[in-house]
Structure formats: C-alpha cells, structure tokens
Amino acid sequence: MPSILDRFRLDGRVAIVTGASRGLGAAMARALAEAGADVVLVARGDLAEVERGIAAAGRRCAAVAADVGDPAAAARVVEAAYAAFGRADILVNNAGIIRRAPLLEFSEQDWRDVLAVNLDGPFRLSQRFAAALAARGRPGKIINVASMLSFQGGVRVASYTAAKSALAGLTRAMANELAPLGINVNALAPGYMATDNTAALRADAARHQAILDRIPAGRWGTPEDLQGATVFLAAPASDYLHGHILAVDGGWLAR
C-alpha cells in the first residue's frame, strides 16, 4: 500500500489545463507539475512564463494555442497531448470568460460567448478526453472549474451564472456515466479570487468591501489557494470521489 503522501504524487501522468496562461489556470498547472505531472498548456494568451515555471519544476510541457469555445478545439487539444506525450490522464477545464450587464440589457452575443467558452468547451473537451481514455482502457481525472455562482444567482452576470450552474450539473452527470470506466469527474468552486475576472468588483470600493465583509477568512482568495485542492482531485488520493463540487471559498458558503 503506497504511503498517503505517495497517493498525492502525479509522477508519470500528463495533465491538460485550459486557460493556463494566467490566474487560476497558471497556478493549477504549476501545482500539477510540482506534484510530478507533465502538462499540456492550453490558452489564447502568452504561455511563456508558465512554461518557464513548469521547466523549473523539472517537468515537460507542450503549449497549444486554442480557444475552447471553438467547436474544433477539443479534438486539436487532445490530439496535441497524445502527439507530445503519448497519453493524457488529467483534464482541468479552467478556461472561462465573464460578461457583466443588467439582465434587461444583456446582449445575445454576451450570452452566447460565455456559454460557448464556459459550458460548451468543457463538455466537448471532456467528451473527447474521456473517449480517448475509454478506447485505451485507462483511468483518468476530469476537474471542472465551477464557481460560487454554481450555488447562487449573482447580479449582472446572467450567462456566467447559467454556465457555472450548468457545469455543476454536468459534473454530476458525467461522473455517473464515467465512474464505471475509472474516470473521476469532480469540480472546484473557487470563492472570490483576486484575478482578472474580478478586477471590476475589486475596483468598486463598496462592492469590494461588501464581499470582503462576508468572507470568514477575511481576505480575497489567491490562485495559490486552489493548488492543494487541484492536486488532490488529480491524484490517487481522490479515487473514490465522484461528482463532488469542492468549494474553496474562505468560508463564503458557510456564512
């Protein structure tokens, strides 16, 4: 029986991380590399800094320029992983965008753009990734990045709330079907994190303080706060966890 610390190791595994160029995705990619995985970095932005971090951890990486909202992206990403490393064991569906506007003014374009990246992309990529594992009879891990708005309604973010609520449901649905194949599907639900997506909230002094006042931990989260939970959901230590939405929120939901 491996030691408990060994069950958190990812040696020999390959992880795909979308939205990996900055913020949460970059931090999760580095954590997976530090735990022993080689990493396929997927993003529209510059990946050079993250690539350097992976190399500093002593792991290999491959960069894929892709917009996960593009229906053709899923096949390209999975094919790139197998071309670079001959396998893919872990998928982190992190890429996401947000659009803010009052409900009565919310545009059709903002609705469709957010759902394409935040919901359609994870569905297509998970389907392609799981099919490749099933064809080879291999186990694997899918980690979706949900949100506090998987549990709550929010304001001025109709498409984001819809997508993240649906992603929580999709996580459970996929877990039901993929667990018998040895594929774990779970999700992380970050709390209010200091990233580009929350820049507008943090710039609004009243909104910033209202959010901070509700967080029992007394601070906004950082991308590094997700690293331990990411490694746990990717590692053998979580092999009996299926369909769970793990909130990493400083106590927000408990308030």
Each residue's pLDDT tens digit, 21-45: 999 999 999 999 999 999 999 999 9
Rounded to 5°, angle at Cα 227 from 122 and 184: 45
How confident is residue 201, by pLDDT bands cut at 50, 70 and 90? confident
Among 6-10, 123-127, 166-170, 200-204, the minimum mean pLDDT is found in 200-204
Residue 200 confidence (pLDDT) above 90: no
Q: Is residue 68 part of a domain?
A: yes
Q: Is residue 236 part of a domain?
A: yes
Q: Is residue 67 part of a domain?
A: yes
Residue 230 confidence (pLDDT) above 90: yes
pTM above 0.85, yes or no: yes
**Contact (Cβ atoms closer than 8 angstroms) between residue 36 and residue 58:** no
Each residue's pLDDT tens digit, 98-156: 999 999 999 999 999 999 999 999 999 999 999 999 999 999 999 999 999 999 999 99
Contacts 24+ apart (CB under 8 A), 215-220: 215/191, 215/249, 215/250, 215/251, 215/252, 215/255, 216/250, 216/251, 216/252, 216/254, 216/255, 217/250, 217/251, 218/250, 219/250, 220/192, 220/193, 220/194, 220/250
Among 165-169, 189-193, 197-201, the minimum mean pLDDT is found in 197-201
How confident is residue 250, by pLDDT bands cut at 50, 70 and 90? very high
Q: Is residue 254 part of a domain?
A: no
- Distance, CA of 162 to CA of 160 (rounded, Å): 5
pLDDT at 197: 81
Q: How many domains does the chain have?
A: 1
Residue 196 confidence (pLDDT) above 90: no
Residue 180 confidence (pLDDT) above 90: yes
Look up tokens 């990411």; give the residue.
Answer: 230
In terms of residue numbers, what domain contains 172? 6-246
- Distance, CA of 99 to CA of 219 (rounded, Å): 24
Q: Is residue 251 part of a domain?
A: no
Q: Is residue 252 part of a domain?
A: no
Strand order of the β-sheet with 14-18 is: 61-65, 38-43, 14-18, 90-93, 140-145, 183-190, 245-248
Q: Is residue 253 part of a domain?
A: no
CATH number, domain with residue 20: 3.40.50.720
Note the helical H segments in 141-235: 158-178, 199-203, 205-214, 227-234
Give the residue numbers annotated as catalytic, written as ranges.
160
Q: Is residue 164 part of a domain?
A: yes
- Distance, CA of 66 to CA of 38 (rounded, Å): 19
Note the helical H segments in 62-191: 73-85, 108-115, 121-136, 158-178
